[in-house]
Amino acid sequence: MEAVTVKSQTGATAQIYTHGAHLTSWISSSGEELIFVSKKAIFKPPKAIRGGIPVCFPQFGKLGPLGQHGFARNSTFTVSSQTDCSVTLKFRPTPEQLEEAKFAHRFELAVSVTLGTNDRGEDTLTQTLEATNMSDAAFDITAALHTYFTVSSIDQVQITGVDNKFLDNTQDMKESTSEPGPVTFSGEVDRIYVKTPDNLQIVDKGKRRTITLHKEGLPDAVVWNPWAEKAKAMADFDDEEYKGMVCLEPALAASGPISLQPQQQWHAQQVLSVSNT
């Protein structure tokens, strides 16, 4: 499978597969891998790669009639432009792909990844989505950047920025509440936090590292760790790997869908930055 590598001026790198415009690695300028990919991941289309950043589009999860997380992550993109530190990949489904996905509308989805630094000198990764409705009727979209972060140990991790109310996907999206304060992990977590602030953090005490996730156009945030039982049930995920990963996914999920009118464009992005504490 074809992949592109981009490099920042400070030596950070990222790898993006054309299959799904799927980012599978982001190595900081100090040489740390920040993204989790399962050692059992299957690199064979149309299967989505387990880990990295699957692009969920035009549907998040089961929030619509399509297959889980839509079909962009199962489809091959083409590289439309590239520089040393940036790449843009595009996907325009063919009539056959639309038929197979049972989706009636033509669209183009562009995914860009750009590496840089912010004004504090921290490594940044900016990932943008730009969708254009190329059909003559409106259609509904939900979406997510399903980001798998690698962590020292899940019991050393806290997610801050979300409040304590969420929809619990382990209980049919029941409205639930946790203790106030950061999210911690001691069992399966599969939650949609609706309309969160746009800055969220993954605080990894074990690695003494904080990743800040700034999102735009993606009002919700999904937090996921499958824990032991679900890990065992996934063929492309090793039984113990849940201890070394967490997903924090900026999403247009429960706040959606958005109706995209003919010729209308929709933009969204996440900017990840990393600091050592």
> For binding to ligand G6P (CB under 6 A), which residues are involved?
61, 68-69, 146, 169, 190, 222, 224, 247, 249
- The least distance separating ligand G6P from the CB of residue 66, rounded to whole angstroms, comes to 12
* Nearer CB in complex with ligand G6P: 110/245: 245
| Residue with smaller CB distance to ligand G6P, 190 or 204 | 190
Confirm if 148 and 39 have CB atoms less than 8 A apart: no
Q: Does the annotation place 120 within a ligand binding site?
A: no
Token duo for residue 147 = 């980001």
Q: Is 146 a catalytic residue?
A: yes
Nearer to ligand G6P, 124 or 149 (CB): 149
CB of 211 to ligand G6P, least distance (A): 17
Count the helix, strand and coil residues of the chain and give each as a percent rounded to the nearest 5: 10, 45, 45
- Note if 105 is an active site residue: no
Which residue of this chain has its Cβ atom nearest to ligand G6P in the complex? 224
Which residue in the list 130, 146, 188, 229 is annotated as catalytic?
146
Provide CB contacts within 8 A for 11, sequence distance 6+: 29
Categorise residue 137: left if φ over 0, alpha if ψ from -120 to 50, beta otherwise: beta
Cα separation, 269 vs 261, in Å, equals 20
- The first and second tokens of residue 48, run together, are 């989505």
Residue 191 phi/psi, 5-degree rounding, is -130, 145
Shortest CB 54 distance to ligand G6P, Å: 6
Q: Is 73 annotated as a binding residue?
A: yes
Residue stretches of the annotated binding site for substrate? 50, 68, 73
The residues that are catalytic are: 146, 249
Residue stretches of the annotated binding site? 50, 68, 73
